[in-house]
Structure 1
Amino acid sequence: MSAAVSLDRLDFKLLDHLQRNGHCSNVELAAAVGLSPSPCLARVKRLSEAGVLRGFDANIDLEKLGEFITVFSEITIGEHRRNSFRIFEQAAENLPEITDCYNVSGGCDYILKITAASMSRFSEIRDHLIELDVGIIKFSTKIVLRKAFASRTVPLRSLKLEG
C-alpha cells in the first residue's frame, strides 16, 4: 500500500461530493462544500496531483446497451513468488474484459471480475489465460445471475479516514 495523503475535513467533503456528482461544475462543488470557487479548484487540483482523485468516469448502464455476462473467477497460482504474481497480473491486465483483479487471502490467490459479450467470449478469455501458462492451477467461475445492487461510492465517513 502507498502512504496515505494528509487530508482535512474539507478535502473529505470534496471527495464525498465528487464521487456522488463528478459532473458538477466547480461553482456547484464549491457551494456544496462551503468554499469559494478559487480555493475549491486549487484543492481539487491538489487532490488530483496527489493521485487521490483519479478521474471523472461515466457511470454506464450496460443493460441498456445490450446483452453481456458478468463473471467472478477465483484463480489459484501454483508458485507463491512475487514474480509469479507479477506475471499473472500482467496477463490479466492485458485483457480488457477483466475489469477488476484482486489479490486476496483465503482459498484462492485472485478474484477477477470479468464482463464479456457472451458466455462463449468468457470461455475464450478463460482458455486464453490458461493457455498463456502464467501459473494458473485452478480457475473457478461464478456467473452473475443478476446484480442486486451496486455502489460507485466509497463510504468515506464510515471508514473513519479523517485524522
Structure 2
Amino acid sequence: MRLDAIDLRILDAIQRDGRITKLALAEKAGLSPTPCWMRLRKLERAGIISGYHARLSLRRVAPVASLGVEITLANHRQADFDRFERVVRDIREIVCCWSVGGGVDYILKVVAADIDAYQRLIDALLDRELGIARYFTYIVTKTVKEDPVVPVSVLVADGA
C-alpha cells in the first residue's frame, strides 16, 4: 500500500494519541470525519496499524529493573534459532527480542521486578538447554529516550 501525506498525518496522530477522537483526527489529517475514518480503517485492514496500546510508567506501578541482554547461540542451525525464539516468545519479562547480525545472535529487552528475578529468569533459560553459548547483561541505569512514536514520514522514501 502506498501512503500519501494524509495517511502519514493519520499515522502520526494516532501514534501520539491512540484515543484521539474521530473529529480531532480528521482535523489533524485535513479531512472531514467520514473520509478520515475510512482511511483509518483501510490502514488497519492493511495491517499498517497493528493495534492500540496504553504506555505505562512502570516505575509508578512497581519497582522494576530494565536490562539489555546479548545472546549468542552455540550452534547456528535453523532448528536452534527456531527453538530459542519459540521459548522467548512465551516469557513475559522478555518484552522485546531482536535477531541481529554481527557478533551476537539476539538482543533482548527484559523487565524484571529486580536483579534477582532477572537472574532467576536467565538461570531458567540456561537450564532449558537452548544452546546459549554466552550472554552479556546490561543494566539500564537511566532511560535517556524511549519514544514509541516512529517517524513514519521520515522513513517513507519520498516523504509523500
Query: TM-score scaled by structure 2?
Result: 0.94
Measured in 1, the distance between the counterparts of 2:124 and 2:57 equals 28
Deviation, 1:69, is: 0.1
How many residues were matched structurally? 159
Measured in 1, the distance between the counterparts of 2:132 and 2:58 equals 30
Measured in 2, the distance between the counterparts of 1:82 and 1:40 equals 44
Query: Paired residue for 2:29, among 33, 38, 53?
Result: 33
Measured in 1, the distance between the counterparts of 2:154 and 2:34 equals 29
Task: Kindly indicate whether residue 95 of structure 2 is the aligned counterpart of residue 96 of structure 1.
Answer: no
User: Runs in 1 of length 4+ with deviation above 2 angstroms?
Assistant: 160-163
Question: Secondary structure of the residue that 1:127 maps to in structure 2?
Answer: helix
Query: Paired residue for 2:145, among 146, 149, 158?
Result: 149
Identity %: 34
Amino acid at match of 1:122: Y
Alignment of 1:1-163 (within 5 A): 5-161=1-157, 162=159
Structure 2, unaligned runs of 5 or more: none
Query: TM-score scaled by structure 1?
Result: 0.92
Measured in 1, the distance between the counterparts of 2:77 and 2:37 equals 44
* CA RMSD, Structure 1 to Structure 2 (Å): 1.3
Structure 1, unaligned runs of 5 or more: none
Amino acid at match of 1:69: A
Measured in 2, the distance between the counterparts of 1:143 and 1:108 equals 18
